[in-house]
Amino acid sequence: MAQAVGMLEVFGLVAAFAAGDAGCKAANVVMEPFDKNKPANADSLPVPLIVMVKFRGSVEDVRAAVEAGAEAANRVSGVVTQYVIARPEPDTEKMLHLKAFDKD
């Protein structure tokens, strides 16, 4: 059975590291590599880079990690959005593995 995935988009790398650390300390989860997004309106944002933090584990652990991560990120620069998928479909799983950090 597929593990749940929790996605947390935050403003900037510092918030991403704070969120990831807090989430992993709060629950029995693993963190996947970060992903990034620089939206067209980046200059009007608190930090011009949005970073996605992804946690994997049981639904309960992922929810706890996302909540703890959101609290930590809000103390740094803020959260854009958060979402938990309990059982990702195979096609959704494929998309969850796309990453843009190694691309310009």
What does the pLDDT average to over 25-43?
87
Taking alpha carbons only, the member of 30, 15, 27 closest to residue 80 is 15
Query: What is this structure's pTM?
Result: 0.87
pLDDT at 101: 61
Q: pLDDT: is 44 or 22 the higher one?
A: 22
Is 83 or 36 the better-scoring residue by pLDDT?
A: 83
Helix (H, G, I), strand (E, B) or coil at 80: strand
Among the ranges 2-6, 39-43, 58-62, which has the highest mean pLDDT value?
A: 58-62
The Cα 37–Cα 63 span in angstroms is: 23
Mean pLDDT of 11-22: 96
pLDDT at 18 over 90: yes
